């Protein structure tokens, strides 16, 4: 086994120290879960073997794993979970041969890599898939650098083990200086057949939610808020038949959360020497789990998002969804730290240890309490008609003040802006409940510059994203359980469960691409508005109320600069991944912020990004929560 | 057509219409109880609503530039068919040594399904009576399905009946599970049944489920012991423990009462009118 691993690890461009450490880690890992079943065909777990060079061979097969005491078959690449880490070099043309030893068709998608569409690996869109026994040759030139990943785009294979890191080293040398470099891939494992889990959600969509409101909570609320207050708090939820703790479709009830293929008990261990600066490449390769990541005792300097360098920003914690990556730098001083990644629904966590030598541990934090989704997650920013009829004393606990703060950022600040005029909804303002918005800056309102409004009427309205909500005609049917008329556009909300938690949490508003990344400053020539939709009760997910099978492609013109507005008309956060081109996130004021390949859109949020399709072909565009994608929150894009 | 026959034929239709009319406030209620929720869910698309195909330039998943050609290969779960079998009640009353079952099964897509509802009473090891609804179920609003099909009644002692069925099943505001169906039988017979359930979670696994059921018949059916009008009402409370979400044993009590002429018929036949049953049972689905 060890021999195989060392053969897989490339000697080129790899420090001796890292090489040795890789072996040592392999040795530690091979004695752990392996004791349960000493079988040479077992899946290799832990830090993945590294493959590099311009020619790479990958073999897809079923191999056994045992995360829970039960042996199950996983779908693996070269027999490891995570799949081998590919270390490639910017500018190189690479040939990757993928051989299918499964009994079903497979594929590999290179997540975030800009390449010809035939190489993108989505069966039925980019190519026909890789049939059993077949070898498919991927060949493309790397036009970018950074941390990316790859995974199967066939069925639920990604969920059963097919995910690995893809690191592209900058051709001109690394601008981010670090002494140690660890890939940390988070994922989720279920012993269930994924399709059977999906079928269960079709029957009972809250089957995996064990944080549902109970009678005792109501009685508690009744004693603090009064009976009417407790009823008010639940009124909207009950009327709309929605669950305030609907934060994840699948929970720790079925999932074992993994860090580099290791359970919390297996405790993945990354090493450093005192005084070293450590780069951690976090990849959320999970099927259905948002993670909230922190390392108690260390602040994290985020230097890269989705493979693209960002201006360093120091935080204590970040949330990321399936598909997203963040590179962070840490300067550890102690001997051991826990890398703690709790699932967004607070049902469980993945964890590992960063330490100066193997075997050390640091305390593992408790899971944070489960928080109810706030009114802001349901109604967006300015739904005052909703507030009018409500008991404000009861509203207080439900209202999220950080979201309120965000409100005056986006809307109030923007009022000095010309383009706010069409968006400013005076009828909505009338009903505004000022008592509930202590944090609102009234002076800013007073200072509203009316002359500027008139003056700027001549500017191109496409300089800023439209704030006029336009629901699709197909959003009025049984496939949609919520339409948001007053979405929030602020990006400085870390999201449910992270607001005011006493830690500095990364938000989209904190991210700024470094100079040179955002290379297209043209004003878009048109806007595309799409709404993320679903019906939780029926467990259906869609875009504009149309599941994939009912949809038509979004047609983009080669080389055009186009704005995409995504409005989330659901109560879940959706990591939206657009293949084949970048998503340049902008603020509500139309300022370009950061280049992403996956943008998580929060409930009742409206975000916009600009894109320039440089590559012809058909591309996939979907929510990267695997079950949402498979349920139909998926669009095809044609670039012609 | 003689006027008399016409009236006779019209009557059941009128009754059905009346029943549908009488449930329409319920429908409105189901759509949302105040302006807010009504605005956020369901409703009619305004004339100026955005066309979801406006960005397609006329291309489809099968046709247009760079399409792979041939029949579409990528089909996701929205085009798959699923199935489920739900045992809502499978219970036994030790006092009377009788059993009751209520099963539902469906097969189909998210929005269109074949639904079969089966309920029956077992006494002395024999199926005393049973009712089978075979319905096409179509998602008509956010939380409700309209259902059309047939119902087959089987009586061990009595006369079997066949009906046409039209109903509505779904989730009303405040999480009430509703199931209401109007029936049209031979020689102008009509019937209507209404069931409601609610779930109260004491813990994540201990759930109290109150339920209520009402049955109406348009005409006397002496052979089957039914008088016209409201025939019977049932009120139940069941406390279950979900060992898993899919398997939950329960204990419960159910009060049933025959009403009006049906009660008179029962009294005349020396049968009990009211009944309290203490039951143990199991709720399951797969």
pLDDT tens-digit readout, B187-237: 999 999 999 999 999 999 999 999 999 999 999 999 999 999 999 999 999
The pLDDT value recorded for residue B38 is 57
Cβ separation B175–A202 shorter than 8 A = no
Characterize A421-458 residue by residue with b for buried, 16 or more Cβ atoms within 10 angstroms of its Cβ, and e for exposed. Answer: eebebeebeeeeeeebbeebeeeeeeeeeeeebeebee
The pLDDT value recorded for residue B101 is 97
Q: Which residues of A touch B65 (CB under 8 A)?
A: 616, 618, 638, 640
Where residue A562 falls (left for φ over 0; alpha for ψ -120 to 50; beta otherwise) is beta
The pLDDT value recorded for residue A399 is 38
Distance, in Å, from the CA atom of B175 to the CA atom of B170, rounded to the nearest integer, reads: 9
DSSP letter at B174 equals G
pLDDT band at residue A41 under the 50/70/90 scheme: low
Distance, in Å, from the CA atom of B174 to the CA atom of B180, rounded to the nearest integer, reads: 17
pLDDT band at residue A373 under the 50/70/90 scheme: very high
C-alpha distances in angstroms, A422 versus A457, A524, B46? 10, 19, 20
Inform me whether the pLDDT recorded for A529 exceeds 60: yes
Cβ separation B174–A238 shorter than 8 A = yes
CA distance B165 to chain A (A): 22
Comparing C-alpha atoms, which of A348, A417, A43, A351 is closest to residue A186? A351
| Three-class secondary structure of residue A144 per DSSP | coil
Q: What is the pTM of this model?
A: 0.86
The pLDDT value recorded for residue A103 is 98
Nearest CA in chain A to B70: A124
HEC assignment per residue over A298-345: CCEEEEEECCEEEEEEEECEEEECCCCEEEEEECCCCCEEEEEEEECC
Q: Given A239, A379, A554, which is nearest B56 (Cβ)?
A: A554
The pLDDT value recorded for residue A364 is 97
Nearest CA in chain A to B170: A537
The pLDDT value recorded for residue B36 is 54
Residue A244 touches partner B, C-beta closer than 8 Å: no
% chain A with pLDDT above 90: 78
Examine residue A82 and say whether the peptide bond preceding it is cis (omega within 30 degrees of 0): yes
Characterize A493-530 residue by residue with b for buried, 16 or more Cβ atoms within 10 angstroms of its Cβ, and e for exposed. Answer: bbbbbbbebeebbbbbbbbbbbeebbeeeeebeebbbb
The pLDDT value recorded for residue A380 is 84
Q: Which residues of A touch B201 (CB under 8 A)?
A: 212-215
How many helices (H) and strands (E) chain B has is answered by 3, 13
* Residue reference for tokens 């207080």: A396
Inform me whether the pLDDT recorded for A86 exceeds 80: yes
Residue B74 touches partner A, C-beta closer than 8 Å: yes
pLDDT band at residue A379 under the 50/70/90 scheme: confident
* Residue reference for tokens 């009473």: B121
Q: Which residues of B touch A202 (CB under 8 A)?
A: 82, 84, 110
Q: Which residues of A touch B78 (CB under 8 A)?
A: 540, 542, 547-550, 631-632
Q: Given A124, A471, A547, which is nearest B72 (Cβ)?
A: A124
Residues in A 537-576 with any Cβ partner in B closer than 8 A: 537-540, 542, 544-555
Characterize A574-586 residue by residue with b for buried, 16 or more Cβ atoms within 10 angstroms of its Cβ, and e for exposed. Answer: bbbbbbbbbbbbb
Instruction: Report ipTM (2 d.p.).
Output: 0.89
CA distance B147 to chain A (A): 15
Structure token digits, residue A403: 């979201």
HEC assignment per residue over B118-134: EEEEEECCEEEEEEEEE
Which residues of chain B are under the pLDDT cut of 50? 1-25, 27-35
Nearest-5° Cα angle at B71, B67 to B77: 95
pLDDT tens-digit readout, A568-606: 999 999 999 999 999 999 999 999 999 999 999 999 999
Comparing C-alpha atoms, which of A280, A293, A281 is closest to residue A349? A293
């Amino acid at each position: 086994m060890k021999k195989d691993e060392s053969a897989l690890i490339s000697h080129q461009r790899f420090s001796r120290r890292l090489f040795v450490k890789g072996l040592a880690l392999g040795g530690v890992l091979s004695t752990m879960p392996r004791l349960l079943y000493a079988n040479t065909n077992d899946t290799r777990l832990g830090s993945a073997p590294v493959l590099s060079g311009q020619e790479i061979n990958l073999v897809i097969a079923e191999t056994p794993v045992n995360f829970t005491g039960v042996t199950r078959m996983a779908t693996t690449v070269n027999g490891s979970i995570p799949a081998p880490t590919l270390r490639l070099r910017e500018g190189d043309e690479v040939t990757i041969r993928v051989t299918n030893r499964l009994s079903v068709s497979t594929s590999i998608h290179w997540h975030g890599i800009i390449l010809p569409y035939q190489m993108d690996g989505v069966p039925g869109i980019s190519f026909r898939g890789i049939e059993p026994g077949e070898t498919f040759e991927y060949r493309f030139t790397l036009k970018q650098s950074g941390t990316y990943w790859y995974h199967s785009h066939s069925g639920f294979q990604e969920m059963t083990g097919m995910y690995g890191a893809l690191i592209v080293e900058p051709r001109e040398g690394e601008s981010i200086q670090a002494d140690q470099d660890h890939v940390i891939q988070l994922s989720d494992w279920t012993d269930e057949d994924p399709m059977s889990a999906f079928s269960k959600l079709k029957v009972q969509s809250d089957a995996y939610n064990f944080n549902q409101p109970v009678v005792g909570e109501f009685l508690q609320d009744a004693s603090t808020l009064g009976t009417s207050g407790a009823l008010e708090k639940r009124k909207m939820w009950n009327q709309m038949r929605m669950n305030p703790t609907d934060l994840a479709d699948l929970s720790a009830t079925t999932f074992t959360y993994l860090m580099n293929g290791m359970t919390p008990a297996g405790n993945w261990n990354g090493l450093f020497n005192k005084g070293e600066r450590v780069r951690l490449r976090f990849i959320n390769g999970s099927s259905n789990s948002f993670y909230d990541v922190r390392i108690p005792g260390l602040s994290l300097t985020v230097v890269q998002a989705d493979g693209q360098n960002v201006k360093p920003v120091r935080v204590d914690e970040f949330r990321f969804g399936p598909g997203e990556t963040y590179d962070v730098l840490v300067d550890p001083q102690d001997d051991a730290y826990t890398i703690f990644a709790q699932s967004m629904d607070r049902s469980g966590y993945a964890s590992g240890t960063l330490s100066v030598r193997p075997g050390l541990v640091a305390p593992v934090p408790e899971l944070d309490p489960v928080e109810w989704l706030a009114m802001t997650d349901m109604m967006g920013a300015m739904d005052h008609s909703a507030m009018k009829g409500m008991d404000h004393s009861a509203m207080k606990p439900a209202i999220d003040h950080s979201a309120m703060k965000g409100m005056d950022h986006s809307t109030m600040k923007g009022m000095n802006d010309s383009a706010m005029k069409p968006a400013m909804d005076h009828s909505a303002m009338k009903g505004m409940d000022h008592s509930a918005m202590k944090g609102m800056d009234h002076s800013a309102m007073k200072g509203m510059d009316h002359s500027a409004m008139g003056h700027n009427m001549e500017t191109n309205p496409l300089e800023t994203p439209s704030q006029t909500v336009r629901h699709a005609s197909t959003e009025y049917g049984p496939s949609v359980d919520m339409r948001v008329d007053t979405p929030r556009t602020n990006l400085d909300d870390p999201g449910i469960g992270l607001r005011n938690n006493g830690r500095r949490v990364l938000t989209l508003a904190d991210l700024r691409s470094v100079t040179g990344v955002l290379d297209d400053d043209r004003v878009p020539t048109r806007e595309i508005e799409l709404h993320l939709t679903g019906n939780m009760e029926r467990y259906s997910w869609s875009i504009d109320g149309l599941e994939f099978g009912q949809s038509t492609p979004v047609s983009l013109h080669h080389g055009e600069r186009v704005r995409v507005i995504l409005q989330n008309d659901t109560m879940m956060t959706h990591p939206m991944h657009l293949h084949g081109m970048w998503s340049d996130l902008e603020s509500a004021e139309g300022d370009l912020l950061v280049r992403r390949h996956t943008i998580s859109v929060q409930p009742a949020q409206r975000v916009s990004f600009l894109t320039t399709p440089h590559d012809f072909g058909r591309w996939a565009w979907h929510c990267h929560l695997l079950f949402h994608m498979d349920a139909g929150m998926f669009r095809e894009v044609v670039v012609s | 057509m003689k006027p008399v026959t016409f009236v006779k034929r019209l009557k059941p239709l009128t009754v059905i219409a009346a029943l549908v009319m009488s449930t329409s406030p319920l429908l409105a209620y189901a759509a949302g109880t105040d302006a807010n929720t009504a605005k956020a869910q369901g409703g009619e698309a305004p004339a100026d609503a955005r066309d979801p195909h406006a960005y397609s330039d006329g291309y489809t998943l099968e046709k247009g530039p760079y399409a792979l050609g041939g029949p579409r290969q990528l089909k996701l779960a929205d085009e798959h068919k699923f199935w489920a079998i739900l045992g809502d009640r499978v219970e036994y009353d030790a006092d009377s040594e009788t059993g009751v079952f209520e099963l539902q099964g469906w097969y189909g897509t998210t929005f269109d399904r074949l639904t079969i509802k089966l309920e029956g009473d077992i006494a002395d090891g024999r199926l005393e009576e049973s009712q089978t609804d075979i319905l096409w179920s179509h998602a008509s609003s956010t939380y409700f399905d309209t259902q059309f099909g047939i119902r087959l009644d089987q009586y061990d002692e009595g006369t079997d009946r066949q009906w046409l069925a039209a109903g509505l099943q779904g989730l009303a505001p405040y999480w009430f599970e509703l199931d209401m169906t109007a029936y049209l039988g031979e020689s102008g017979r009509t019937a209507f049944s209404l069931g409601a359930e609610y779930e109260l979670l004491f813990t994540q696994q201990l759930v109290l489920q109150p339920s209520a059921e009402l049955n109406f018949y348009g005409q006397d059916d002496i052979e089957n012991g039914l008088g016209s009008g409201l025939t019977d009402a049932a009120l139940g409370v069941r406390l279950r423990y979900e060992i898993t979400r899919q398997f939950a044993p329960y204990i419960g009590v159910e009060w049933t009462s025959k009403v009006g002429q049906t009660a008179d018929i029962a009294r005349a036949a020396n049968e009990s009118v009211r009944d309290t049953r203490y039951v143990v049972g199991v709720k399951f689905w797969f």
